[in-house]
Structure 1
Amino acid sequence: MSRVRIRRAAAAAVAALTLAALPSAAYAAAAPAAASGARHHQRAETYSRITLQGAVNVRDLGGHRTWTGGQVRHGLVYRSDALGKLTDADVTTVSGLGLTKVIDFRIPMEVQYDGADRLPAGLSATARPVSDLGLYGTLVGAIGSGDPVIQEQMLGGGRAEAYMRAIYRTFVTDAGNRAQFAATLRELADGRQGPVLYHCTSGKDRTGWMSYVLLRALAVPEDTAERDYLASNTFRAAYDASVRAGLKQSGLMQNPDLLIPLQEVRQDYLDSATAQMEADYGSFYGYLTQGLGLDLRTLAQLQSRLVR
């Protein structure tokens, strides 16, 4: 096989991490048995999950209680993984959400290989790339090598975990990343804006940090915001396991468990970002006002629009 074909095969395998390269039968196997639009309840919080065939981590952020006795409104903010492989039925379900904006945090390489979002007529995604520190390209190279020694050298021995912690720190340190998150929060605060959905590739890291920041800005308790972040593991577990099995069966990876640290969200990843936030800005409030440049009026508008 030529180098070009190997690289394309590897990219397809990486894309499979986000539903982009598995047959529709795999969607059914990985998705929980529930009707489209069903609500999923977990622990003390209510996670309003939108169940689709072509994406596994789509949620309405509404329902969380705040310190002030309020509740985050339903139907205004949605978070998800990539939407490039939605079925016709999925598109109909998404159409019913009444979205006026979709924000895509993926970098161009991800969009190139995974595909652009498939959305209802009249709706197109706004590209707002947040750096993955080259993770997608690293995965293409590691999987494309087909060499278990190289894969172990690239991802084993705690290296994958260290990579993830470094990515999370850049959510705070990188000015470009901060600008993308800040722009999203300003739009969510705008009373003229209708329902918004934002997403990345797996809907767990860039999207997870955005959701964590938003919930805390709305006075949702920190531990509740953390559980919302960690809930991606529940929603993605079955699908991610099927991806690892497929990679092993294909012969691309002898030890696909090397990918688990990249597929999961973990408390210590989130802690890397919050520790950086405190080191750079002293507090969460400092991150909002100094790091993201949000003024008190914008923060008040977020509360007024998104909390009842």
Structure 2
Amino acid sequence: MRRARLLAAGALVSALATGALPAAATAAPAPAAPRHHPRVHAVAETIRQIPLQGAVNVRDLGGYWTYTGGQVRTGLVYRADALGKLTPADVDTVAGLRLTKAVDFRIPLEVQYDGADRLPAGLATTSRPVSDLGLYGMLLTAIGSGDPVKQEQMLGGGRAEAFMRDVYRTFVTDPADRAQFAATLRDIADGAQGPLLYHCTSGKDRTGWLSYVLLRALGVPVSSAERDYLASNTFRGAYDARVRDGLRQSGRMQNPDLLIPLQEVRQDYLDAATSRMEADYGGFYGYLTRGLGLDVPTLARLQSKLVR
């Protein structure tokens, strides 16, 4: 059985390298009914949310089918938004995930304002800041000004959308960002490493990019990896709307809809990163190996550990 898994992993790594897929793997198998998972409910086929009161975008990354007919294991990798507002009941739920590592991609300014992670006893946060190109500081400035003219000048006229595309390109171009993502992928691939969670503030951009990369590295079809990325809009939609309503009612923003491009994930943001990846590395495999510095044995370990 182990030899079969390794052979499948090798075939997938080869397919990534050549940009092709095995002849028999032109489409992913139809998803099976999701298995029951304690305190988890399935949304949109295989997307599995961990319901918490103090965080809205916490998910098990498992359950997706791969091109080779495997399925990503559940209970090993979790993606999340900030964990600084977890309730005691939430912390108990997180303790049930049996995490051995929690990686925080937030920069110090975000931690300062939003609070450090609240985690089960014995689990410490591993800080791996990934640049937001000043997005958080810009938001503090714009909202804090209370000036609708300044807010329009900073965020209106397509400027917020353009800024987000620049943030995503930086995930690919910035060596420090690549190093943080690569270190986390190596942790995930480590056979001695137990369940791992990574997160940023909203769990949608830095976390969304790494989740997209990981799923594709495991051989999950692009369409499924994109669906996982875009699902943040579903999980965050109601919460983000309440934030905008609060800003309007408090008088800090006359037009809080200016924030929507910053609150949402969008296909063109992801496309900005993948287009940069194509330009700089010639494709996904080049990004994995030359951009992130992951060798073939590491990619094979990811497959062996996470795909059944």
2:235 counterpart residue number: 235
Give 1:233 deviation, angstroms: 0.2
Q: Distance in 1 between matches of 2:287 and 2:133?
A: 21
2:95 counterpart residue number: 95
Q: Which SS does the other structure have where 1:131 is aligned?
A: coil
2:41 counterpart residue number: 39
Q: Distance in 1 between matches of 2:145 and 2:288?
A: 42
Q: Which SS does the other structure have where 2:46 is aligned?
A: strand
Q: Distance in 1 between matches of 2:68 and 2:270?
A: 24
Deviations 1:260-305 (A, max 9, x none): 0000000000000000000000010000000000000000000000
2:77 counterpart residue number: 77
Q: Distance in 2 between matches of 1:126 and 1:52?
A: 21
Q: Which SS does the other structure have where 1:48 is aligned?
A: strand
Q: Distance in 2 between matches of 1:40 and 1:200?
A: 22
- Opposite residue 221 of structure 1, the aligned amino acid is P
- Opposite residue 43 of structure 2, the aligned amino acid is H
Q: Which SS does the other structure have where 1:40 is aligned?
A: strand
1:268 counterpart residue number: 268
Give 1:48 deviation, angstroms: 1.0
Q: Distance in 1 between matches of 2:140 and 2:43?
A: 35
- Structure 1 unmatched ranges of 5 or more: 1-35
Deviations 1:51-108 (A, max 9, x none): 0000000000000000000000000000000000000000000000000000000000
1:215 paired to 2:211: no
Deviations 1:157-194 (A, max 9, x none): 00000000000000000000000000000110000000
- Opposite residue 204 of structure 1, the aligned amino acid is K
Q: Which SS does the other structure have where 1:249 is aligned?
A: helix
Q: Distance in 2 between matches of 1:83 and 1:250?
A: 25
Q: Distance in 1 between matches of 2:163 and 2:40?
A: 35
1:142 paired to 2:124: no
1:156 paired to 2:159: no
Q: TM-score, normalised by structure 1?
A: 0.87
Q: Distance in 2 between matches of 1:237 and 1:207?
A: 17
Q: Which SS does the other structure have where 1:132 is aligned?
A: coil
Q: Distance in 1 between matches of 2:294 and 2:40?
A: 35
Give 1:38 deviation, angstroms: 3.1
Q: State the superposition RMSD in angstroms.
A: 0.7
Structure 1 segments of 4+ aligned residues over 2 angstroms from their partners: none
Q: TM-score, normalised by structure 2?
A: 0.87
- Opposite residue 40 of structure 2, the aligned amino acid is A
Give 1:46 deviation, angstroms: 1.2
1:283 paired to 2:283: yes
Deviations 1:109-168 (A, max 9, x none): 000110000000001110000000000000000001100000000000000000000000
1:55 counterpart residue number: 55
- Opposite residue 135 of structure 2, the aligned amino acid is L
- Opposite residue 57 of structure 1, the aligned amino acid is N
Q: Distance in 2 between matches of 1:297 and 1:270?
A: 27
1:64 paired to 2:59: no
Task: Count residues with an aligned counterpart.
Answer: 271
